[in-house]
């Protein structure tokens, strides 16, 4: 039995989709060659079912961008110096251009509130095939063409540990990290979180309080579903919300979140903005079940083709999901998500009996079981699943440091617990 | 021979999808039932003396539900007054057979059975509805009508609570669909283990943490009598997509979605309209006229001979005032 209801619920007075399409077609025929916005130019593009001219398209993009950009502002009276995260992809490529344009002249408002301090790129050589000299040059060139300082940070620096330097190179450690994961889902999952952590840490070191990401609506929607599927539903707001507090003093913002991937492509094409294609783990796969991220991406893409409101509906859902208010939360040792008080990672995930080892043969002896227990006690629900699919010894040292710190503070807390006044609900 | 990891003596015949433990049949039954008992106890789903309607469709979930509820009620002296409640949608060939199964369940578990039909509640069978509107939106009708039919039937029979066989997989599917349609209020409701605690009859989902595969295994090994055909009117594009996705997801990482791991913005929750009553049928509704009545209206508009007002009044009189059934959970 299932809880009734279905998507195409036309009973509530909404116009059925076919009807809407017919209306749009009729509309299109009527004004097929005149832009519906300015009503003077010839229309050449279709934007959200309206045929418009290029200047009006650009105008729409800038307008929607500014709305989203404004939504990321925390302190409304201050000028914010931002760092832009640049993956090389079309959406973050467009972000650099649009933000720069907004600040340089098209909008006095943006220039009064924002200043681009730098561009950061995480060089994932080793996770995937190493970046070529040509690719490195292209990436740096993008920043240079806007006169913006460029920081390329190697992914391997996530392993940097001033206390215990080792002989192994970071590249070797990345290799071990990738080999130590038993699933592609976990590989992608930890790369995502460690990349974000690196960006946040670098931003903090460089003195930034805000990083802007080029994440598009399509990507956001995919991320929402894949987070939920990976047991990270509680942290949706922290991962893809504006005004998140995941990394404490460094805030992530997503001003491109209103745009579909193809809308960005159209913009980049007209503006001759070239992105730098860098392969990801699933670039070459033909297996639809390569990973949860990969599967989710094709699921949402497929739905979007048949139901064009899919992505934007998901975005509306995502903004309604929040983190519960937690006073001085402990944070996940791996991904920095807030841990829920009074619930262990087990009950966050809602799954029982995950504490025992992975159950596969050859998963090691007691030595590392001690380490597992330690880290596993201080990870979020999503990372708890990660722990089932990774050999803990390949994790970067920061994870153990965080777990130790969490352990100390929870021991301290338990000692003084009786004297703490409960001001919660 | 593979040895059972739990009792170390029995022959392992199943690998539990939930924990990958190898188990013998008796141990599997035991942990399966005990986990559900634990869910019931931890969430305080029932209290002694409760009159509980088991939503019985004749399908595997509800058949296992009837088996487990009667078993646990005896084993732990819950003191529940159990009965089976079935809804006859009036779908020829589908419900006829599944209702036969439910009738056999009634004899097997020695608990009474009450069948409420769409025809008596709404004046329409699903067959008649499909004949009228075609296959386009019939699942909307069926879903809305079924939800009310269970409540109305249970109220007529003076039940305190309804238990449904929604399992972890169902809940995952509902979570996904509600995210996809942006239905946040339903998203909240579908993930909670009990719903409708205000004015409607509380609904309990003791299988919330139970994997569908384990329910199938339980039914299979116990040779439970169940009816296994999808509703013939059921397939719809969106749900189909979602199901395939979840199936693939499970292949990648078993039971990935857990319904509980979402948190809804407080302001959003308070914006959800207060539950009032339908002015036509008196059923709990957030709008002046409930969805079933609106749907009925649209159906009946094409058929002037059936007057919606009469039908509504008739139902209204039959429905026991809901306030009587307010149950305090402990
Ligand atoms: Zn125009
Ligand atoms: Zn985590
Ligand atoms: Zn056994
Ligand atoms: Zn009504």
Q: How far is the CA of B210 from the centre of ligand 4 (A)?
A: 34
pLDDT tens digits, one per residue of A175-187: 999 999 999 999 9
Between these two residues, B230 and A50, which has the higher pLDDT value? Answer: A50
Ligand 2: centre distance to CA A60 (Å): 37
- On whether residue B35 sits in a domain, the answer given is no
Residue B147: closest CA among chain A residues belongs to which residue? Answer: A4
Q: How far is residue B174's CA from residue A355's CA, in Å, rounded to a whole number?
A: 28
Ligand in nearest proximity to the CA of B286:
4
- The pLDDT tens digits for B168-187 are 888 888 888 888 888 777 77
Total tally of structural domains belonging to chain A = 2
Are A282 and A387 in a shared domain?
no
Min mean pLDDT across A138-147, B183-192, B294-303 is at B183-192
Q: Are B173 and A303 an interchain contact pair (Cβ–Cβ within 8 Å)? A: no
Are both A76 and A144 inside the same structural domain?
Answer: yes
Q: Are residues B114 and B124 in the same domain?
A: yes
Residue B84, min C-alpha distance to chain A (Å): 15
Residues A131 and A230 in one domain: yes
Q: Same structural domain for residues B50 and B185?
A: yes
Q: Do A349 and B258 touch (CB under 8 A)?
A: yes
Same domain, residue pair B323 and B191: no
Whether A367 shows a pLDDT value over 60: the answer reads no
Q: Do A185 and B253 touch (CB under 8 A)?
A: yes
- A336 touching B (Cβ < 8 Å): no
Q: Which residues of chain B make contact with A319, given a CB cutoff of 8 A?
A: 265
Residues of A in Cβ contact (< 8 Å) with B263: 233-234, 237, 321-324
Quick check: is A43 in a domain? no
Interface of B with A in 260-279 (CB under 8 A): 260-266, 268
**Mean pLDDT, rounded, for B71-90:** 93
User: Is the domain of A302 the same as that of A359?
Assistant: no
Domain count, chain B: 2
* Segment among A150-159, A384-393, B278-287 with least mean pLDDT: B278-287
Is A227's Cβ below 8 Å from some Cβ in B? Answer: no
- Whether B303 is covered by a domain: the verdict is yes
Residue ranges making up the domain that contains B259: 44-229+238-271
The pLDDT value recorded for residue B287 is: 76
Would you say B139 and A6 are in contact if contact means Cβ atoms under 8 Å apart?
yes
Give dist(CA A247, CA B328) in Å, integer: 42
Token digits of residue B42: 């931890």
C-alpha distances in Å from residue B236, one per residue of A147, B37, B135, B156 = 53, 35, 9, 32
CB-proximal residues (5 Å) to ion ligand 2: A 332, 334-335, 337, 380, 383
A390, A302: one domain: no
Quick one: B49 and B133 in the same domain?
yes
Q: B209 versus A83: which is more confidently predicted?
A: A83
Which one of B249, B251, B299, B300 makes the best mutation probe of the A interface by having the most chain A beta carbons within 10 Å? Answer: B249
Residue B16 lies in a domain: no
B187 part of contact set with chain A, CB < 8 Å: yes
pLDDT digits (tens, 9 = 90+) for B9-21: 999 999 887 778 8
Q: Assess if residue A5 is contained within a domain.
A: no
For residues A229 and B249, the answer to whether their CB atoms sit within 8 Å is yes
Is the domain of A354 the same as that of A303?
Answer: no
Per-residue pLDDT of A89-142, as tens digits, reads 999 999 999 999 888 775 566 667 889 999 999 999 999 999 999 999 999 999
> What distance separates the 2 farthest-apart alpha carbons in chain B?
70
Do B79 and B60 sit in the same domain of this protein?
yes
A302 in contact with B, Cβ within 8 Å:
yes
HEC readout, chain B:
CCECCCCCCCECCEECCCCCCEECHHHHHHHHHHHHHHHHHHCCCCCCCCEEEEECCCCHHHHHHHHHHHHHHHHCCCCCEEEEEEEECCCCCCHHHHHHHHHHHHHHHCCCEEEEEHHHHHCCCHHHHHHHHCCCCHHHHHHHHHHHHHHHHHHHCCCCEEECCCCHHHHHHHHHHHHHCCCHHHHHHHHCCEECCCCCCCEECCCCCCCHHHHHHHHHHCCCCCCCCCCCCCCCHHHHHHHHHHHHHHHHCCCCCCCCCCCECHHHHHHCCCCEECCCCCCEECCCCCHHHHHHHHHHHCCCCCCHHHHHHHHHHHCCCHHHHCCCCC
Residue positions of B in the annotated binding site for ATP?
55-57, 61, 87, 165, 170
pLDDT at residue A9 is higher than 70: no
Task: Check residue A29 and give its pLDDT.
Answer: 56
pLDDT tens, residue by residue, A305-323: 988 899 999 998 888 877 7
* Ligand nearest the Cα atom of residue A190: 2
Query: Quick one: B277 and B144 in the same domain?
Result: no
Instruction: Please give the residue of chain B at the shortest CA–CA distance from A352.
Output: B19
pLDDT value of position A319: 83
Give per-residue burial for A165-198: e unless 16+ CB within 10 Å, then b.
eeeeebeebbbebbebbebbbbbbbbbbbbbbbb
**pLDDT > 50? residue B311:** no
pLDDT-based confidence at residue A338 (cuts at 50, 70, 90): confident
Same domain for A351 and A264?
A: no
* pLDDT of B4: 94
Whether B110 and B191 share a structural domain: yes
Rounded mean pLDDT, B217-223: 91
Q: Summarize the annotated binding site of B as residue ranges.
A: 55-57, 61, 87, 165, 170
Q: How far is the CA of B15 from the centre of ligand 3 (A)?
A: 12
Q: Which of A319, A349, A384 is the last residue of a domain?
A: A319
Asked whether residue B210 falls in the same domain as residue B321, the answer is no
B199 and B277, same domain (yes or no): no
Q: What is the ipTM of this complex?
A: 0.79
A70 C-alpha to ligand 2 centroid (Å): 29
Confidence of residue B109 (pLDDT cuts 50, 70, 90): confident
- Whether B13 maps to a domain, the answer reads no
* B21 in a structural domain: no
Within this chain, do residues B257 and B277 fall inside the same structural domain, yes or no?
no
Contact A289 B251 (CB under 8 A): yes
Are residues A113 and A195 both part of a single domain? Answer: yes
Same domain, A95 and A160: yes
The pLDDT assigned to B329 comes to: 24
Same domain, yes or no: B180 and B58: yes
* Ligand 3 centroid – CA B26 distance (Å): 6
**CATH code, domain carrying A76:** 3.40.50.620
Residue A343 has pLDDT above 50, yes or no: no
pLDDT of B275 reads 62
Prediction pTM value: 0.78
User: Domain residues for A72?
Assistant: 56-319
pLDDT attached to residue B119: 86
Minimum distance, in Å, between the CA of residue A18 and any CA atom of chain B: 12
Residue B209 in contact with partner chain A when CB distance is under 8 A:
yes
The answer on B148 and B53 residing in a single domain is: yes
pLDDT band at residue A333 under the 50/70/90 scheme: very high
Interval A381-388 mean pLDDT: 89
- Are A253 and A377 in a shared domain? no
The whole-number pLDDT of residue A349 equals 28
A341 pLDDT band, cuts 50/70/90, is low
Single residue among A287, A319, A351 that ends a domain in this structure:
A319
Determine the pLDDT at residue A104: 79
Asked if A216 and A87 sit in the same domain, the reply is: yes
Mean pLDDT (chain A, rounded)? 82
Whether B263 sits inside 8 A of A385 (CB atoms) is no
Average pLDDT over residues B184-208: 73
Please report the pLDDT score of residue A25 as a whole number.
63
Same structural domain, A308 and A394: no
pLDDT computed for residue A344 by the predictor? 38
Give B50→chain A minimum CA distance, Å. Answer: 23
Which CATH number fits the domain that encloses residue B68? 3.40.50.620
B119 within a domain of the structure (yes/no): yes
Does the residue A50 lie in any domain? no
């Amino acid at each position: 039995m299932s809880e009734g209801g279905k998507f195409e619920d036309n009973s509530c007075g909404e116009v059925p989709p076919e009807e809407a399409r017919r209306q749009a077609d009729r509309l299109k025929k009527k004004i097929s060659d005149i832009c519906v916005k300015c009503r003077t130019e010839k229309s050449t593009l279709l934007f959200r079912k309206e045929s418009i001219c290029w200047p009006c398209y650009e105008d729409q993009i800038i307008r929607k961008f500014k709305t989203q950009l404004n939504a990321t502002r925390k302190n409304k009276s201050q000028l914010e110096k931002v760092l832009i995260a640049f993956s090389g992809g079309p959406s973050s490529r467009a972000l650099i251009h649009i933000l720069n344009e907004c600040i340089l002249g098209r909008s006095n408002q943006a220039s009064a509130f924002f200043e681009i301090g730098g561009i950061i790129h995480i060089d994932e050589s080793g996770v995937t095939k190493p970046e070529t000299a040509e690719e490195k040059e292209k990436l740096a060139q993008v920043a240079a063409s806007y006169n913006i300082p460029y920081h390329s940070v190697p992914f391997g620096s996530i392993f940097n540990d001033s206390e215990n330097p080792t002989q192994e190179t970071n590249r070797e450690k990345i290799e071990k990290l990738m080999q130590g994961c038993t699933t592609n889902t976990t590989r992608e999952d930890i790369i995502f979180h460690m990349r974000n952590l690196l960006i946040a840490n670098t931003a903090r070191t460089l003195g930034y309080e805000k990083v802007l990401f080029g994440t598009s609506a399509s990507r956001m929607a995919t991320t929402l579903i894949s987070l939920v599927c990976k047991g990270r539903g509680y942290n949706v707001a922290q991962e893809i919300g504006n005004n998140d507090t995941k990394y404490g003093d460094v805030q992530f913002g997503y001003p491109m979140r209103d745009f579909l991937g193809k809308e960005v492509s159209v913009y980049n094409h007209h503006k001759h903005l070239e992105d730098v294609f860098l392969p990801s783990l699933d670039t070459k796969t033909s297996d639809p079940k390569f990973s949860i991220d990969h599967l989710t991406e094709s699921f949402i893409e497929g739905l979007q083709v048949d139901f064009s409101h899919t992505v934007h509906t998901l975005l509306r859902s995502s903004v309604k999901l929040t983190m519960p208010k937690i006073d001085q939360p402990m944070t996940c040792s791996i991904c920095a998500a807030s841990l829920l008080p009074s619930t262990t990672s087990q009950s966050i995930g809602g799954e029982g009996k995950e504490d025992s080892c992975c159950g596969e043969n050859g998963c090691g002896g007691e030595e590392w079981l001690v380490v597992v227990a330690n880290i596993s006690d201080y990870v979020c629900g999503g990372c708890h699943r990660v722990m089932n699919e990774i050999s803990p010894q390949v994790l970067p040292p920061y994870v153990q440091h965080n777990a130790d710190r969490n352990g100390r503070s929870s021991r301290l807390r338990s000692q003084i617990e009786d004297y703490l006044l409960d001001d919660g609900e | 021979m593979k040895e059972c990891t739990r009792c170390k003596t029995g022959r392992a015949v199943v690998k539990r999808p939930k924990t990958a433990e190898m188990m013998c049949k008796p141990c599997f039954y035991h942990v399966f039932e005990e986990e559900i008992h634990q869910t019931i106890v931890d969430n305080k789903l029932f209290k002694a003396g409760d009159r509980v309607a088991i939503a019985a469709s004749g399908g595997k979930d509800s058949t296992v539900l009837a088996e487990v509820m009667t078993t646990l009620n005896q084993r732990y002296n819950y003191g529940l007054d159990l009965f089976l409640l079935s809804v006859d949608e009036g779908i020829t060939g589908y419900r006829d057979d599944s209702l036969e199964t439910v009738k056999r369940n009634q004899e097997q578990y020695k608990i009474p059975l009450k069948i409420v039909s769409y025809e008596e509640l709404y004046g329409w069978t699903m067959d008649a509805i499909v004949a009228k509107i075609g296959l386009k939106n019939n699942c909307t009708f069926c879903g809305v009508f079924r939800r009310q039919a269970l409540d109305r039937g249970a109220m007529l029979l003076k039940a305190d609570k309804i238990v449904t066989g929604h399992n972890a997989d169902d809940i995952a599917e509902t979570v996904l669909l509600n995210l996809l349609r942006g239905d946040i209020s339903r998203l909240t409701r579908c993930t909670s283990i009990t719903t409708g605690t205000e004015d409607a009859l509380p609904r309990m989902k003791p299988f919330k943490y139970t994997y569908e595969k384990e329910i199938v295994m339980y039914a299979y090994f116990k040779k439970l009598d169940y009816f296994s055909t999808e509703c013939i009117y059921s397939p719809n594009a969106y749900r189909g997509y979602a199901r395939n996705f979840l199936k693939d997801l499970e292949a990648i990482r078993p039971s990935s979605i857990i319904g509980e791991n979402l948190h809804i913005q407080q302001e959003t929750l308070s914006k959800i309209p207060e539950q009032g009553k339908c002015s036509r049928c008196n059923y709990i509704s957030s709008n002046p006229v409930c969805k079933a009545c609106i749907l009925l209206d649209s159906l009946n508009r094409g058929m002037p001979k059936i007057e919606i007002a009469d039908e509504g009044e008739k139902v209204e009189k039959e429905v026991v005032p809901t306030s009587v059934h307010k149950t305090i959970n402990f």
